[in-house]
């Protein structure tokens, strides 16, 4: 995406009819273009960050009454002059106003172009720009909190702190190179070694946060598996609290996978109901369904192996799982239909031998469902999650941080092996490049295009 000094416009409210819609204009000609189609107060006299009411007209024809928000550069989202028009939310009106603006000299904004300009004008760094996209895409509280924390600069501050400390050492190494003939040491090697060790520790903590961070950002995948008629679809419906999947006492009711999302304590969980696992079925379609179930087991981060506790013991359930070659490592055994065998109480135990979890429920009578949800949440992110601490949620950041860590370790090794200053300086600069690529201090156009093209239009 090239930065061209033209003025861009886009509808930034959702597509479709609503009470109002918002059209955003940004660029050096924002005021002159809007003024040419606006009837009301002289926009050039209106204070920044204020509103004025007027009309949009085109060739003498009234298009709509609009409320105009004014943001003068540099105090705007993009850092440029920005005007936002609130018009009535008819799709026809929105499109008409956008067309009028384009005719008057604006260009249609590309996806993410407002945020791209904000990044180029140093209003936000790359981590913050990406968190804007995450915030817009967030559908649960955990996603919203973590995206907001990155937007407010939590991660950026932590990375800047690391960067500044290393920049200081880097400049000391540079001084040594500048005064090479005098053989002086500006960067005390013992101190430098200590600093690197502490920064590596800090980096490892950030890298470790990715395991949970990526679950928060992308959700947690849970497959519901088990024999036909075990009550898998009944369980899906109980988890969703609505009758989503067909339930019947005919074995083999579910043939295809059914995926639905549920928020558990603010965490996005994708549940996948699958076809019942049985061997030697003659039904071709059912066999395809079973293959898909096994595939889901592979993809899922957790499997709920549901069995009919009124017919089978826990041991038998474990054997059944084994016959399908499924490893019990990421499996919860869910003993269903306990209404048939026990008075209505639930039990959650850990199997002594396998460390697998056993949870008893009655999917039909909604018993044990909340306990099951809490057990899933615990497995996904545990109980000690601290949103105040910076967290890595984005795989791009994770990859760059891994490269940074490797480069920094390499610098430490080189220093401890007594390698010359010019090599240390070079290696440290490499480490800083990887660090800088996260916040966007160092970027290439392809990377920027990739990041911003995933934004929606109008942001
Ligand atoms: N008593 C009792 N019956 C249940 C319970 N859960 C499910 N059932 C019954 O068990 C039968 C099978 O339920 P489903 O949810 O369709 O089972 P499934 O595992 O999805 O079966 P397939 O899709 O064929 O693999 C239905 O008649 C349900 O009403 C339960 O907790 N208690
Ligand atoms: Mg089913």
Closest ligand by atom to 286 CA:
1
Q: What whole-number distance in Å separates Cα of residue 54 and Cα of residue 43?
A: 10
Q: What whole-number distance in Å separates Cα of residue 34 and Cα of residue 24?
A: 11
pLDDT tens-digit series, residues 25-46: 999 999 999 999 999 999 999 9
pLDDT above 70 (res 365): yes
Q: Is the domain of 367 the same as that of 246?
A: yes
| Overall average pLDDT of the 8-32 stretch | 95
Specify the pairing of strand 82-88 against strand 107-108.
Answer: unpaired
Output the residue whose Cα is nearest ligand 1's atom 7: 231
Predicted confidence at residue 55, as pLDDT, reads: 98
pLDDT above 60 (res 350): no
Task: Judge whether 457 lies within some domain.
Answer: no
Task: Judge whether 1 lies within some domain.
Answer: no
50 phi, psi to nearest 5 deg:
-135, 170
Atom of ligand 1 nearest to the CA of 247: 16
Q: Is the domain of 183 the same as that of 52?
A: no
Ligand 1 within 6 A of CB of 339 = yes
Task: Give me ligand 1 centre to Cα 220, in Å.
Answer: 24
Q: What percent of the chain has pLDDT over 70?
A: 96
Output the residue whose Cα is nearest ligand 1's atom 24: 252
Name the band, by pLDDT with cuts 50, 70 and 90, for residue 342. Answer: low
Task: Judge whether 369 lies within some domain.
Answer: yes
Task: Give me ligand 1 centre to Cα 290, in Å.
Answer: 17
Q: Which pTM does this prediction carry?
A: 0.79
pLDDT tens-digit series, residues 116-154: 999 999 999 999 999 998 998 898 888 998 899 889 888
Name the band, by pLDDT with cuts 50, 70 and 90, for residue 101. Answer: very high
Q: Is the domain of 73 the same as that of 104?
A: yes
- Which among 350, 341, 357 is positioned nearest to 309, based on CA atoms? 341
Predicted confidence at residue 36, as pLDDT, reads: 97
Closest ligand by atom to 252 CA:
1
In DSSP terms, which residues pair with 262 in a beta bridge? 269
Predicted confidence at residue 352, as pLDDT, reads: 47
Write down the mean pLDDT value for the chain.
Answer: 90
Task: Give me ligand 1 centre to Cα 246, in Å.
Answer: 10
pLDDT above 80 (res 344): no
Task: Judge whether 447 lies within some domain.
Answer: no
Q: Is the domain of 420 the same as that of 289?
A: no
Q: Is the domain of 143 the same as that of 47?
A: no
Task: Judge whether 449 lies within some domain.
Answer: no
Domain endpoint, select from 124, 154, 183: 124
Ligand 1 within 6 A of CB of 230 = yes
pLDDT above 80 (res 359): yes
pLDDT tens-digit series, residues 281-303: 778 888 888 888 888 888 999 99
Closest ligand by atom to 368 CA:
1
Task: Give me ligand 1 centre to Cα 297, in Å.
Answer: 20
* 416: its two tokens: 């401890």
Q: 57-63 — which CB contacts under 8 Å span 24+ positions?
A: 58/96, 58/100, 58/103, 63/93, 63/96, 63/97, 63/100
pLDDT tens-digit series, residues 256-271: 999 999 999 989 999 9
pLDDT tens-digit series, residues 320-336: 999 888 888 899 999 99
Output the residue whose Cα is nearest ligand 1's atom 9: 231
Ligand 1 within 6 A of CB of 363 = yes
Predicted confidence at residue 179, as pLDDT, reads: 80
User: Running DSSP on this structure, what letter comes out for residue 76?
Assistant: S
Q: What percent of the chain has pLDDT over 90?
A: 68
Atom of ligand 1 nearest to the CA of 361: 31
* Mutation to probe ligand 1, out of 235, 236, 239, 247 (largest number of atoms < 8 A from CB): 247
Q: CATH number of the domain at 316, please.
A: 3.40.50.300
Q: CATH number of the domain at 152, please.
A: 1.20.120.430
Sign for the pseudo-dihedral over CA of 401, 403, 406, 410? negative
Task: Judge whether 297 lies within some domain.
Answer: yes
Name the band, by pLDDT with cuts 50, 70 and 90, for residue 346. Answer: very low
* 429: its two tokens: 């600069």
Predicted confidence at residue 1, as pLDDT, reads: 57
Specify the pairing of strand 258-264 against strand 331-336.
Answer: unpaired
- The helix (run of H) or strand (run of E) holding residue 349 is strand 348-350
* 391: its two tokens: 């967290």
Number of domains the chain contains: 3
Q: Is the domain of 24 the same as that of 156?
A: no
pLDDT tens-digit series, residues 58-87: 999 999 999 999 999 999 999 999 999 999
Task: Judge whether 2 lies within some domain.
Answer: no
Query: Do 222 and 300 touch, CB atoms closer than 8 A?
Result: yes
The answer, yes or no, to whether the previous bond of 398 is cis (omega within 30 of 0) is: no
Q: Which domain holds residue 236?
A: 223-381
Query: Do 146 and 212 touch, CB atoms closer than 8 A?
Result: no
Output Rg (C-alpha) for the chain, integer angstroms: 29
pLDDT tens-digit series, residues 144-179: 988 998 898 889 999 999 999 999 889 888 888 888
| Overall average pLDDT of the 239-256 stretch | 93
Residues with CB under 5 A from ligand 2 (ion): 232-233, 253-254
Atom of ligand 1 nearest to the CA of 340: 1
Q: Is the domain of 407 the same as that of 270?
A: no
Higher pLDDT, 345 or 411: 411
Q: CATH number of the domain at 49, please.
A: 3.30.1360.120
* Mutation to probe ligand 1, out of 362, 364, 368 (largest number of atoms < 8 A from CB): 364
């Amino acid at each position: 995406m090239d930065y061209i000094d033209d003025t861009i416009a886009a509808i930034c409210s959702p597509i479709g009819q609503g009470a109002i819609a918002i059209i955003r204009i940004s660029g050096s000609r924002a005021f002159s273009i809007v003024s040419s189609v606006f009837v009301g107060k002289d926009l050039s006299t209106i204070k920044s960050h204020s509103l004025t009411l007027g009309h949009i007209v085109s060739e003498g024809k009234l298009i709509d009454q609009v409320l105009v928000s004014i943001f003068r550069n540099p105090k705007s989202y993009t850092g440029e002059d920005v005007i936002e028009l609130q018009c009535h939310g008819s799709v026809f009106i929105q499109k008409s106003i956008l067309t009028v603006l384009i005719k008057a000299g604006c260009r249609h904004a590309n996806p993410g172009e407002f945020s791209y300009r904000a990044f180029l004008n140093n209003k936000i760094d790359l981590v913050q720009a990406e968190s804007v996209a995450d915030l817009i895409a967030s559908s649960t509280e955990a996603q919203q909190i973590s995206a907001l924390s990155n937007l407010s600069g939590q991660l950026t501050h932590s990375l800047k702190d690391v960067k500044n400390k290393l920049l200081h050492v880097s400049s000391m190494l540079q001084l040594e190179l500048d005064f090479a003939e005098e053989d002086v040491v500006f960067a005390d090697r013992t101190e430098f070694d200590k600093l690197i060790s502490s920064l590596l520790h800090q980096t490892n903590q950030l890298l470790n946060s990715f395991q949970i961070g990526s679950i928060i950002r992308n959700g947690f995948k849970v497959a519901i598996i088990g024999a036909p008629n075990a009550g898998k679809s009944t369980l899906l419906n109980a988890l969703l609290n609505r009758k989503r999947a067909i339930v019947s006492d005919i074995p083999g009711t579910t043939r295809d996978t059914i995926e639905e999302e549920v928020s558990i304590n603010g965490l996005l969980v994708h549940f996948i109901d699958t076809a019942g696992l049985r061997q030697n079925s003659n039904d071709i379609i059912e066999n395809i369904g079973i293959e898909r179930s096994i595939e889901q087991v592979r993809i899922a981060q957790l499997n709920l192996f549901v069995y009919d506790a009124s017919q089978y013991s826990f041991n038998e359930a474990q054997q059944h799982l084994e016959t399908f070659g499924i490893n019990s490592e990421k499996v919860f055994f869910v003993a269903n239909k306990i209404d048939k065998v026990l008075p209505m109480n639930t039990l959650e135990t850990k199997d002594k031998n396998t460390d697998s979890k056993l949870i008893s429920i009655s999917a039909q009578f909604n018993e044990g469902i909340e306990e099951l949800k809490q057990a899933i949440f615990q497995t996904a992110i545990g109980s000690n999650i601290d949103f105040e601490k910076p967290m890595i949620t984005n795989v791009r950041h994770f990859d760059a941080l891994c490269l940074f860590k490797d480069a920094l370790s390499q610098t430490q090794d080189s220093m401890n092996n007594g390698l010359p200053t010019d090599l240390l300086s070079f290696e440290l600069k490499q480490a800083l490049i990887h660090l800088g690529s996260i916040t966007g201090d160092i970027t290439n156009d392809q990377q920027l295009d990739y990041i911003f093209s995933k934004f929606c239009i109008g942001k």
